[in-house]
Structures are given as C-alpha cells and as structure tokens.
Amino acid sequence: MFWRGLADLRKDYVLDKFVIVPRIVEGAQHEKYFDDKCPYCPGNESMTEPALLALVAKDGMLQRLSDSEENSIDDWCVRVFESSNPAVTTTSTAIYTDKPLYSEPAYGYHQIVVASPEHNQKLSQISVDQWANVLLVVQDRVRWLYTQKSVTYVSIYVNSGQIAGTSVIHPHLNLVTFSTIPPTIELEADASHRYMNENGNCPACSIISVESNGPRQILGTDIFLAFSPWAPTYPYEFWIYPKRHTTAFSRITQKEISDLALMLRATLGGMSKALDDVAFNLVFHLSPEKKNSRQIHWHIEVYPQLNTWSGLERGFGVYLNNVRPEKSAEVLGSACRKELAGLVGIK
C-alpha cells in the first residue's frame, strides 16, 4: 500500500529504523485499478504516468523509446513510468524535525517496471529472453537514477501476491530511491567491511565457496549460484549470487545479464511449481554507488511468504523457521533443475 501526496521519513527514537508515513492522512489510499481496467496493460497507457522508457523489439533489434505529450509508445515489451502511488516523491517540501522525534522528507523516485505486456503472465512464467530485457531496463534505470541529485541508494524489489504486499496482478518491479542508505544495507555493508578487515577477503566469496556443491545449493549456472542460506529468515528462502566478486549490478555485462535471466526464470519457475504458486518478495542487495568505501558483493534474495510472524519475530528479531535450509534446497533444487532442463531443451 502506498498513498498519493507528500510523506515523511521518520526515524525511531533510538534505533536505526525508518518508517515512511504520509503527511496528509486523508489522502491515503490503496493501490487499485481504475474502472476495472489494469493500467499496466497495453492500450491503457493513458492511465499511468508517461513512459520514461519503453523497450520495443523490432526487426530483431531493441529500441529504447519514451512517450511524448501527444502519443504513447505501442507494442512495447517492457515499460517504465513514475508510480502514481509513490512511496517517495521528488516534490517533498523540506521539513525536518529534531531528535528524539527526527523526520526528514521522504524524497526520492519511485518507478514501476512493467515486466511483460501480458496481464496474467507471472514473473515465474515469462521467457528467459524477456527476463533479459527486463534486467537491461532495470540496469538502465539504476544507472540513470544514480546520476540524480539526492539519490544515495536505489532499491529494486518485487512484491508478488497480496500477502507479499501488492494487489496488482500484472507482473512488475519497483525501483525506489533514498537519500540515505537503508538500514539493512548499512548493516550488511558494515559487517562485510569488518569481515574484510579481519580476514582479508570478501565474506560473500567465502560463502559461495562453502555453499557451492554443498547440501544447500539449489542451482548453479556458469556465472550465478542459487542456494538456501545457512540461517534463513523465511521457509524456502534462497539467495542468488554472482560467482565472481562484483559489487555493482549496474556494470554487469550482457553475458552476465543473459545468465542471470536464465537463473531467475529457472528458480522462480521451480519455486512456483514446488510451492504451489506461492506469493513472494524478491529484493536486490546492491552496494551504494556514490563515494562509499563499504561495499557488498551484490546479490538477490527471494522470500516466499508461507507463514505469518509471531511475537518472537516481531518483538525480538529472533526467527522461527520450521523448514531446515537443507530440506529447502532439496525441494527447490529438484524443481529448479527440472525447470532449467526444460528451458535449455534437455529432457
């Protein structure tokens, strides 16, 4: 759920925890369709903000186009526009408050990446080539957003299914920028920095070495590794890491994008079949790209939404997981390998 209008980024009294709250409560509203039509579908482009980028496949070539004031681009395969219900906005007025009731404007960009023109086609179903197109567009947007004033971090995430945070069926991704580094990324970067200083190598590279061909590996391609983490927060949670040490998704090559597209299609497709089309969240953990020495080995985390949290999780940050990650890897690995075999033509 988001709202129209201005919002504030409020910090907890003591903890490094932030909450976006609307300035005008009566303006709050759920995401919704208008007149029972999907604004993300072809033919309904006038129901959204103009396309900042519309990727059109024509004569074997990809064209990057944008809407004009008079006309919308037709026959697109991926479309990007500003959210009409943004979590953050670039129109926030500069209102700050002091500690212990600290707040600042929830300033930033919130863009929607429509991943397919097909309304009912899930992210677990779109083709590998289409996933590659989506990743190219996301990479393009990340590069552009980092050139903008007051953009310190670009978050990329998917909410798929109502209990994962969206009522929109049409497959899409969210890009939301922040003027500060989100707490989870800050903690991960700090921990990685300490590990590097103490051990002389990247913690993620050590993890990849441990998990490769181990009991928690789900799937491996030439360039990426998917595995169930040793201490997962969610049942059947899995992470996707590039095998080589790299900190910037915005600089990966076309070959790496193609391999990641195959990995995402195989793992999401396998998860969907193994867990009965489960709702899920998918997030990119990226390094901050502006003058920051604390870097992380970028990766993707996928959180299937099967259970609700108890007071232990909500109140104390200690998580109960009723599925061992080794069992998760066994179930997901079997399904994902079958999915990958089908995608590459192996029976």
Q: Is the pLDDT of residue 28 over 50?
A: no
pLDDT of residue 70: 83
Instruction: Flag whether pLDDT at 291 surpasses 70.
Output: no
Average pLDDT rounded to a whole number, residues 83-108: 85
In angstroms, the CA 132 to CA 248 distance is: 17
Share of the chain above pLDDT 70, in %: 94
Report whether 140 contacts 52 (CB < 8 A).
no
Can you give the residue ranges of every domain in the chain? Answer: 7-183
Question: Average pLDDT, whole number, for the chain?
Answer: 91
> How many degrees, rounded to 5, is the angle at CA 198 between CA 193 and CA 204?
55
pLDDT band at 11 (very low <50, low <70, confident <90, very high): confident
Average pLDDT over residues 77-93: 90
What is the sign, positive or negative, of the torsion defined by CA atoms of 269, 270, 276, 279?
A: negative
Instruction: Detail the DSSP E strand segments found in the chain.
Output: 7-11, 18-22, 51-58, 61-65, 78-82, 103-105, 110-114, 153-160, 172-178, 217-220, 224-227, 238-242, 280-285, 299-304
By percentage, how much of the chain surpasses pLDDT 90?
76
Is residue 27 predicted with pLDDT exceeding 60?
A: no
Confidence of residue 4 (pLDDT cuts 50, 70, 90): low
- Does the structure show a pLDDT above 70 at 343? yes
pLDDT of residue 277: 96
Topology (CATH level 3) of domain 7-183: HIT family, subunit A (3.30.428)
Which of 6-20, 143-157, 271-285, 293-307 has the weakest average pLDDT? Answer: 6-20
> Residue 3 pLDDT more than 50?
no
Instruction: Using the predicted structure, report yes or no on whether residue 120 has a pLDDT greater than 70.
Output: yes
- pLDDT category, 106, cuts 50, 70, 90? confident
Q: Is the pLDDT of residue 33 over 60?
A: no
